[in-house]
Structure 1
């Protein structure tokens, strides 16, 4: 297995893996086109890495060193494209999608003032049938190496659900992440911010 920078040709496969891995998530509900725009943005303005076996992409990691700038620029450049891409789901569930889409488009990347020089891991996914084979941990270690070489980030952090999320929390704990803080999203959903130091390689 090798891990490399994603190319534009990888985006369709990345979207497919996202949909398979995050079947019931809201971003998945927004559809292929929306996800394609999002992950294309990570290639040009963030970090998007893919795990490859026998020339097939089987997992990926996506994130940014400047979450506030990254999502702000993406919104300014592609806001209309994101809205158009979400139109089919908007027709299906207008009240839900309008609220969530507004939050997604105006998302500021969870930039946390006290977390200086931190990398936001926005997404990490592996084909579900390959879970438990160490690919996710391999991607985390790869990201650590990339950030260690760049020497611009001291920590990696991510946001995930607090409740009914034992397997995900267990995975990140094994990868060296710990709970940095807790908060409520949209006033209801309990979330955890996990953090891990970038180890110098």
Structure 2
């Protein structure tokens, strides 16, 4: 049986582990476990953050959906308030490859400004399910719970995901009534920008 509940700071360690399992080859994953711990704890501590987890019968986290009540200014504030600590947590990766600093900033700010017609909407920053639990509709449960939680704060949700070699994820959002509103480049990555009106 899957239980959905709001995530707390004590869940961050397990969130980071799950992120690494689900997003093995992603840029943020390459910045290391300490970075992911700091990144997700910063969102959970933010008054504008929303973090929902799915837990199995052993109370182990098997999925999460994390985002912000409003897209406008969220990443900028996150960087402003946590840039030094985030950079220190990713220091090994940044020293080896200094261009990752600009890439990190660009990744955050491009997500925030990709389509200014929807800056008042909430944004889904990350959703994932344990690879061992795929096919159990956990992603759908998490998305529905995130939407329910966000309705108090916003009339809609935005999200971005890779356009290429990502059919499963794109089809998942489309099947849950998200509309492709725009496409843009994030460095070399071609991205899809989806929206869903909630009310």
TM-score scaled by structure 2?
0.90
Kindly state the Cα deviation for residue 95 of structure 1 after the two structures are TM-superposed: 4.5
Kindly state the Cα deviation for residue 67 of structure 1 after the two structures are TM-superposed: 2.8
1:18-64 deviation per Cα after TM superposition (whole angstroms, max 9, x unaligned): 11000000000001111111111221220011111121111100101
Rounded to whole Å, the distance in 2 between the matches of 1:59 and 1:165 is 19
- Tell me the SS of whatever aligns to 1:42: helix
Q: Which structure 2 segments of 5+ residues have no match?
A: none
Kindly state the Cα deviation for residue 104 of structure 1 after the two structures are TM-superposed: 4.3
Asked if the contact 2:6/2:52 (under 8 Å) is kept, the reply is yes
Kindly state the Cα deviation for residue 154 of structure 1 after the two structures are TM-superposed: 1.2
- Tell me the SS of whatever aligns to 2:43: helix
Rounded to whole Å, the distance in 2 between the matches of 1:95 and 1:33 is 18
1:61-99 deviation per Cα after TM superposition (whole angstroms, max 9, x unaligned): 01012233322222222111111111111233x144233
Kindly state the Cα deviation for residue 171 of structure 1 after the two structures are TM-superposed: 1.2
Kindly state the Cα deviation for residue 177 of structure 1 after the two structures are TM-superposed: 1.2
- Tell me the SS of whatever aligns to 1:68: coil
Query: Which one of the candidate residues 132, 135, 139 is aligned to 1:132?
Result: 135
Are residues 4 and 111 of structure 1, via their aligned partners in 2, closer, same or farther at CA, if it must alter by over 3 Å? farther
Are residues 108 and 176 of structure 1, via their aligned partners in 2, closer, same or farther at CA, if it must alter by over 3 Å? closer
Q: Which residue number in structure 2 is paired with residue 73 of structure 1?
A: 77
Deviating 4+ runs (over 4 angstroms) = 104-108
1:127-166 deviation per Cα after TM superposition (whole angstroms, max 9, x unaligned): 1111111000000111121123x1x211111111111111
Rounded to whole Å, the distance in 2 between the matches of 1:69 and 1:111 is 12
Kindly state the Cα deviation for residue 111 of structure 1 after the two structures are TM-superposed: 6.3
Asked if the contact 2:4/2:55 (under 8 Å) is kept, the reply is yes
Q: Which residue number in structure 1 is paired with residue 27 of structure 2?
A: 26
Q: Which residue number in structure 1 is paired with residue 60 of structure 2?
A: 56
Trace 1:1-201 onto structure 2 (pairs within 5 A). 1-45=2-46, 46-54=49-57, 55-92=59-96, 94-104=97-107, 109-110=112-113, 112-115=115-118, 117-148=120-151, 150=152, 152-186=153-187, 188-198=188-198
TM-score scaled by structure 1?
0.89
Rounded to whole Å, the distance in 2 between the matches of 1:171 and 1:105 is 23
Q: Which structure 1 segments of 5+ residues have no match?
A: none
Are residues 69 and 116 of structure 1, via their aligned partners in 2, closer, same or farther at CA, if it must alter by over 3 Å? closer
Rounded to whole Å, the distance in 1 between the matches of 2:155 and 2:105 is 31
